[in-house]
Structure 1
Amino acid sequence: MDKREQYERVFSHFDGDKDGKISPAELRQCVAAVGGELSPAEAEAAVAALDGDGDGHLGFEDFMAFVEGGGAEERAADLKEAFRMYEVDGSSGCITPKSLKRMLSRLGESRSLDECKAMIARFDLNGDGVINFDEFRVMMS
């Protein structure tokens, strides 16, 4: 069995509803199965960064890119696109607790402003209370 066939078996296993796509929830299960952990927001951001056709799910090729890590340039472009999803007007290139709350709400994840502040604090390397792109890149690696 070659690597592609192995990926197809894994993809099929985690495609719970057998629609040929991996949802953010299914991606969380996949990562958990190998001992990792993704929050709902991290899974949404990962899917957004790798979603080749913009449907909010990972097709098989997207999934392979996730598993293999993709090319550095492509990954950087995908991360920038995902980062922009969380920015809002006036946030000056940063993810603020308010912008995170708004984006999570759009994704069906209701969080309080305090919860969003705590989420940001986990990855706020310079202590300024917001996530800049470099911190976002560390968070997503």
Structure 2
Amino acid sequence: MNKSSEYQRVFNHIDIDGNGMISPSELQHCIGLIWNEGILLEEVEVAVKSSQGNNGQLGFEDFLGLMESAKEEEKLEDLRKAFRMYQMDGTDCITPKSLKRMLNRLGESRSLDECVGMINRFDLNGDGVLNFDEFKQMML
């Protein structure tokens, strides 16, 4: 089954009244079932509006866009978690020293000079460390 047909199946399941559109209340109901907790209708309405929903509802294409946005946000959060693993010096960046420590923990022994070189390849602003944006560019 391809992604589009999977999304179509999910869309059809959420579209309780079968009118080809997902209303905020239908989306709210579905999210409540998935997360097993309530979500405010106003929060769902904001999500629908941000996805350019037709008349305050989501058509299938709008739904696909919303799913892609959620997937991108999830990737970004995974990158933030990975970044935090490498930034061990109490700073908001990855230093050669923190990179060396993390690589050693992962079983890849590197010298401090090698770590400086690795950072320099992706250090866009030349400050000798990697901030989150530079780390993100490196990982993507």
TM-score by length of 2: 0.50
Q: CA deviation at 1:71?
A: 1.1
**Quick check: 1:131 aligned with 2:122?**
no
Find the counterpart in structure 1 of residue 75 from structure 2.
Answer: 75
- Specify the structure having the higher radius of gyration (Cα): 2
Report 1 or 2 for greater relative contact order, CA contacts < 8 Å, sequence distance ≥ 6. 1
Computed over aligned residues only, the root mean square deviation of the Cα atoms, in angstroms, reads: 1.8
- Deviating 4+ runs (over 3 angstroms): none
Find the counterpart in structure 2 of residue 97 from structure 1.
Answer: 96
Q: What one-letter code is carried by the residue in structure 2 that aligns with 1:138?
A: Q
Give 3-state SS (helix, strand or coil) of 1:93's partner.
coil
Find the counterpart in structure 2 of residue 9 from structure 1.
Answer: none
Gaps of 5+ in 1: 5-69
Q: CA deviation at 1:110?
A: 0.5
Find the counterpart in structure 2 of residue 66 from structure 1.
Answer: none
Gaps of 5+ in 2: 4-69
Q: What one-letter code is carried by the residue in structure 2 that aligns with 1:105?
A: N
Q: CA deviation at 1:78?
A: 0.3
Q: In 2, Cα distance between the equivalents of 1:131 and 1:123?
A: 7
- Counting only pairs closer than 5 Å after superposition, residues 28-47 of structure 1 correspond to structure 2 as none
Q: CA deviation at 1:89?
A: 3.0
Give the aligned length.
75
Q: CA deviation at 1:3?
A: 5.0
TM-score by length of 1: 0.50
